[in-house]
């Protein structure tokens, strides 16, 4: 099955700096890569996603890049703000033996933005 590795587990930056979180996946057939943000005491929420036929996608201060050959994708946050502090999860959607497409999550990155 799919295996998703996420690094780093903790990331501490100063307000205004950029933050990069990286993920690798094992199943070359994975075709959809969402990123989730989990604020304290809440469930994860989708913030950006990318399909396997796209190399980069941007939404204001956040962007995601995908390298299919290397099987890795990254989340980039520019001009970080204290409210960006949260746990971020990457995921890769792959086909399970029964035929269903199910996401596999990384272990999460705790981002801390210091004012």
Partner 1 sequence: EAQVTQNPRYLITVTGKKLTVTCSQNMNHEYMSWYRQDPGLGLRQIYYSMNVEVTDKGDVPEGYKVSRKEKRNFPLILESPSPNQTSLYFCASSFGTGVNNEQFFGPGTRLTVL
In whole angstroms, how far apart are CA 65 and each of 15, 70, 101, 110?
Answer: 22, 12, 21, 20
Asked if 37 is part of the footprint of partner 1 (rule: CB under 8 A), the reply reads no
Closest separation between CB of residue 68 and partner 1, Å?
15
Closest separation between CB of residue 32 and partner 1, Å?
4
Residue 4, class by beta-carbon neighbours within 10 Å (0-12 exposed, 13-18 middle, 19+ buried)? buried
Asked if 105 is part of the footprint of partner 1 (rule: CB under 8 A), the reply reads yes
Q: What track of x and - describes contact with partner 1 for positions 53 through 72 (by CB under 8 A)?
A: --------------------
- Using CB under 8 A, pick the residue from 13, 27, 31, 65 that binds partner 1: 31
Q: Nearest CA to 35 among 13, 10, 4?
A: 4
Q: What are phi and psi of 96, to 5 degrees?
A: -85, 165
Structure tokens at 76: 């980039």
- Using CB under 8 A, pick the residue from 24, 93, 111, 113 that binds partner 1: 93
Interface contacts to partner 1, rule CB under 8 A: 1, 6, 9, 31-32, 34, 36, 41-46, 49, 51, 89, 93, 96, 98, 100-108
């Amino acid at each position: 099955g799919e295996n998703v590795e996420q690094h780093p587990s903790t990331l501490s930056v100063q307000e205004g700096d950029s933050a990069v979180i990286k993920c690798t996946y094992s199943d070359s057939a994975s075709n959809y890569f969402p990123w989730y943000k989990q604020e304290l005491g809440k469930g994860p929420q989708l913030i950006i996603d990318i399909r396997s036929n796209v190399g980069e996608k941007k939404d204001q201060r956040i962007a995601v890049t995908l390298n299919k050959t290397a099987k890795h994708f990254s989340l980039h946050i520019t001009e970080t703000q204290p409210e960006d502090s949260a746990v971020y999860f990457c995921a890769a959607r792959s086909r399970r033996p029964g035929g269903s497409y199910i996401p596999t999550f990384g272990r999460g990155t705790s981002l801390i933005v210091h004012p």
